[in-house]
Amino acid sequence: MKEVSHGTEECFFNQPTRSSLRMHEDALVACGTLCYLPSGNQWYQLADMLSSVPFRTSAMSACHGKLYTTGGDVTNEMSATMDRFDPSGNSWTPVQSYSDAVPHKHAAIVSFQGFLFAIGGKNENGAIGNVHKYNPETNLWQEVAPLNFARCARCAVADKNSLFAIGGKSGSEFLNVVERFDSENNCWSQIASTHERKMLSCGAISRDKVFIYLWGIYYLSHIYIFKSY
């Protein structure tokens, strides 16, 4: 510390952190079984999932350093399972599902303000608008305000300030509805709609802008940008 304060020697605090002290490493996970590390430009095989639910009908999100998957269908039978992946042990464990064993699919899950939100979906009666919040610390679910428009296969994105539910499907109709969640008042409000009506879209938030990739069987693919204030 004396050398640093006198400025007579190079400050070792400017050097990169030793690899043994790294707390985490950014990674991309595809389909719950493949992991890409940008630092090494390499793909790795993860442990097999507990269930064989196809990812086209289930959902996945990261929260507190772990991955969560929920919902889906196997051989046209809806599932109520929810699993958690721990990277430190390369293992999957079952988690109590928010659906209370009610089979569902096409839900959206997203991490927001330290909690995991499960939004909408579809059960045997059709599209639902229920929204549940999961606390990884207590392993408990809490039901919060439902969507104003019940729908499945919608896109959900969030940053530290905002949570959005975008598009989706209700019955046979594709939707362009966009809702934003107000965590302080526990309510959803409708904002500007997307230009196209789509389901199963994906998106992300960067620099206060929402980027949505919209696709459909009979439509060309588009990317839209929404300014979040």
- pLDDT digit string, tens, across residues 42-91: 898 888 887 655 554 457 888 888 888 876 554 455 555 678 889 888 89
Q: Please state, in angstroms and rounded to a whole number, the distance separating the CA atoms of residues 177 and 88.
A: 39
Q: Are strands 77-78 and 82-86 parallel, antiparallel or unpaired?
A: unpaired
> Average pLDDT over the chain, rounded to whole?
76
Nearby residues of 218 by Cβ (< 8 Å), 6 or more positions away: none
pLDDT at 148: 93
Mean pLDDT, to the nearest integer, of 185-199? 87
Q: Please state, in angstroms and rounded to a whole number, the distance separating the CA atoms of residues 98 and 171.
A: 23
Q: Please state, in angstroms and rounded to a whole number, the distance separating the CA atoms of residues 146 and 121.
A: 12
Q: Please state, in angstroms and rounded to a whole number, the distance separating the CA atoms of residues 201 and 126.
A: 19
pTM: 0.75
The percent of residues above 90 in pLDDT, for the chain, comes to 11
Q: Please state, in angstroms and rounded to a whole number, the distance separating the CA atoms of residues 175 and 196.
A: 8
How far from chain centre, in Å, is Cα 17? 30
Q: Which residue has the higher pLDDT, 106 or 151?
A: 151
pLDDT at 128: 84
Q: Which residue has the higher pLDDT, 223 or 33?
A: 33
pLDDT at 188: 95
99 falls in which pLDDT band (50, 70, 90)? low
pLDDT at 186: 94
User: Any idea where the domains of the chain sit in the sequence?
Assistant: 47-227
Contacts by 44-51, CB closer than 8 A, 24 or more apart:
46/85, 46/90, 47/85, 47/90, 47/91, 47/92, 48/92, 49/83, 49/85, 49/92, 50/81, 50/83, 50/92, 50/93, 50/94, 51/79, 51/81, 51/83
> Whose structure tokens read 């879209």?
201
Q: Do 199 and 169 meet the contact criterion of CB atoms below 8 Å apart?
A: yes
The percent of residues above 70 in pLDDT, for the chain, comes to 69
Instruction: Specify which of 6-20, 26-40, 172-186, 190-204 reaches the highest per-range mean pLDDT.
Output: 172-186
pLDDT at 182: 93
Amino acid at site 59: A
Q: Shortest CA distance to 27 belongs to which of 14, 12, 42?
A: 42
Multiple choice CATH, 47-227, 2.120.10.80, 3.40.50.720, 1.10.10.10, 3.30.70.260? 2.120.10.80
Mean pLDDT, to the nearest integer, of 12-29? 61
What is the SS3 assignment for 106-117?
Answer: CCEEEEECCEEE
